[in-house]
Structure 1
């Protein structure tokens, strides 16, 4: 069976975060290391086949996705952990890095088959969106063991999501409409719980967002096709503007995934200033959607929390021009005289990874390279 193993590697404690050049170098070292491996020796000499890898480097380390063929989940996880630790150890410049997390996930189509095969009272619902919402519950990790569907379970998950809020380091709760003590008007901390739930759900949704994008990128690469023609179910990329579905191929998926990693890294490490490009605007839209579905799944999306998320979105987005990409009647407006009069920036897919301004950050892997433009569908 094919397993997707997520591995989070970190630079040594106390080390300075990597600059752009160092991140490019670290990514190249990791990719070269994986390319030299065809099979991994698992426990008791068990052979584990290496099918595909993805490396996403951020200032504090690298997020890896390793696809392997293994007879059991435990074999896949242990084999990949040992492989990554060995690659780090034998690479001098990465030898002080550590493996912080190594988790196994089923490949998307196999997971769907598994759900389809289930029966009995706990069988999953028929529609894809409900299944996706059900699987979302796995992203946040363990919660206190209580009876499912009970008030105790809701309270436990509410508490867990609220404790995740501080990890959204780029923003205070005021971005979600919470009133800090001492402000004019009503005193106290009005809306704090709603704000914490909204912020924590964005952290929870980050795991969901990246995992779904990893799965979609792998499916498109495996079938060598695009979203419009892919036989495997898409988890997320089919929610991008449908007018460009034929151009959402494996290379696009990888660029969009790296953009989402760069965005969520800035949100959680505290360096976020503004959305940098159209692709980030769309990734942020999907992150908000995953946060809402997470809250709704656990019965926590009430009016107060919805308002907190809306307040946050309004403050982060400078404009909502990207929404016109979902309206076919506005196709080409960004290139028209009307678009120029309204100050609408180019929104065609060819400009999605172009920074809005000189301060906008786009990851080097995803950024446009006018001197070495690669056609969609080719290897980077």
Structure 2
């Protein structure tokens, strides 16, 4: 039977919170560790096959979702927990990390129903991003409760996806509810969806980087599934190789960090414009999957987009056209921020493409 085991890990109590790059590094190390594992042993030597691993890092650790084939739930939980601890122990940079829990949170029957419905009327969404959003759970947590036009706090034990998404709204620290031009209730839902979308987007962009690295190719020639990079303008697909993908991922980390740490002032470059589009699309996918995307929320997300562009003095419908390629990571001005890892250098300018290409 197929089981989805969720492993919660934590960093040492005396260690500082992981920043954005620290979380990215943890994801890389944990995924590499599991990548070398084809199977594991449960109680009494019962064999368990590892099918898929998704890692989502948090400030105080990481959540690892492992899909396995196992004869019983207990075997799946014990085997995955043991392998996860072994992966942590092997990585020197993760010294002191511990497995806190290893448990199946989804009912096995629900997993079987999903697989059985693959070709039926109840089939999961055909779009891979939509499927991933369906199974990626938002994490609770909000700021202190206020009644002064800022975000309100929601309890940590969120019982359903809507409550969990709303609980994330307070993490969008660079934007007050007024940025959405909607009622407080609608603004809270839209803000939480953006924070949720940021986590999913960064996970999936990392997967895209790894896919291009594994195939040693670019998007134009890639034979495997990609989450987002194949949605960039197709005429430049041959330029979207692993180094480009890494720069785009770092840009997404930098922009969403500024959104959530209170430090956002302006979009820094054209690549950030594209990240913003992906972020809004991902938020809509998650809301739609949970039946939460109505006209009011859609309007709130559009007003948020306009608010972000208003910081530049540029209407959203006059944002730069992404068809040009050579300056995607070039700062819009001396006062704009682009992460040093991603910033354009003269040699990044691609050779001119022949007319009609």
Change (3 A) 1:103 1:192: farther
Does residue 139 (structure 1) correspond to residue 136 (structure 2)? The answer is yes
Task: Name the CA distance, whole Å, in 1 between partners of 2:217 and 2:236.
Answer: 14
Deviations 1:74-116 (A, max 9, x none): 688546632553256x45xx75777899999xxxxxxxxx969
Segments of structure 2 that go 5 or more residues without pairing to the other structure are 71-75, 105-113, 141-158, 352-357
SS at match of 1:351: coil
Match for residue 259 of structure 2?
267
Match for residue 365 of structure 1?
341
Segments of structure 1 that go 5 or more residues without pairing to the other structure are 105-113, 144-154, 179-190, 326-330, 332-347
Task: Name the CA distance, whole Å, in 2 between partners of 1:63 and 1:355.
Answer: 33
Deviations 1:111-154 (A, max 9, x none): xxx969934453235xx43x5324312122489xxxxxxxxxxx
1:81 to 77, 81, 84: 84
Report how many aligned residue pairs link the two structures: 309
SS at match of 1:367: coil
What TM-score comes out, normalization by structure 1 length?
A: 0.61
SS at match of 1:350: coil
Task: Name the CA distance, whole Å, in 2 between partners of 1:102 and 1:355.
Answer: 44
Q: How does 1:44-59 map to 2 (within 5 A)?
A: none
Match for residue 226 of structure 1?
218
SS at match of 2:342: coil
Task: Name the CA distance, whole Å, in 2 between partners of 1:57 and 1:157.
Answer: 19
What TM-score comes out, normalization by structure 2 length?
A: 0.64
Task: Name the CA distance, whole Å, in 1 between partners of 2:224 and 2:329.
Answer: 26
Q: How does 1:264-303 map to 2 (within 5 A)?
A: 264-303=256-295
Q: Does structure 1 retain, via aligned residues, the 8 Å contact 2:186–2:296?
A: yes
Task: Name the CA distance, whole Å, in 1 between partners of 2:8 and 2:174.
Answer: 24
Match for residue 185 of structure 1?
none
Match for residue 124 of structure 2?
124
Deviations 1:15-65 (A, max 9, x none): 488799xx7xx969x87xx79x96799557999999xx999999x689899
CA RMSD of aligned residues (A): 5.1
Match for residue 327 of structure 2?
351
Match for residue 193 of structure 1?
185
Match for residue 345 of structure 1?
none
Deviations 1:181-233 (A, max 9, x none): xxxxxxxxxx0011011101112212321232223222222222222222223
